[in-house]
Chain A
Amino acid sequence: MTTLLSLSIRLYSATLPLYPPDLRRDFGREMAEVFSEDLVEALRYRGIAGFMRVWYCALSELIRIAAPSQAENPAVAVPFIIFVLCEAVMSGELLMAFRHQPMALDGGPMPLSTIPLFILPLSIAAAFTAFVAVLAGSRSLPAQMKVSSD
Chain B
Amino acid sequence: MAETNSPLAPAAFLILFALAGGDKHGYAIMREARLISEGGFEIGPATLYTTIQRLLDSCWIEEVAGPESSDSRRRYYSLTQQGSSVLNAELKRMETLVRKSKAMRLRNADPIS
Contacts and interface: CB of A to CB of B under 8 A. Distances in A.
The secondary-structure label for the interface of chain A is helix
A23 B75 contact: no
A72 interface: no
Q: Which of the four size classes fits the interface of chain B? A: 10 to 19
Interface residues of A, number: 24
Interface string B34-56: 00000000111111111011000
A37 B44 CA distance: 12
Contacts of B45: 30-32, 34-35, 38, 58, 61
Given A30-B26, A33-B27, A34-B27, A60 B53 contact: no
A34 B50 contact: no
A19 B46 contact: yes
A95 to B, nearest CB: 40
A30 to B, nearest CB: 5
B86 interface: no
Contact of B49 (A23, A53, A58, A60): A23
B1 to A, nearest CB: 15
A27 B42 contact: no
Given A31-B45, A35-B45, A57-B42, A23 B27 contact: no
7 contacts: A22-B53, A30-B49, A34-B26, A37-B27, A38-B27, A58-B44, A61-B45
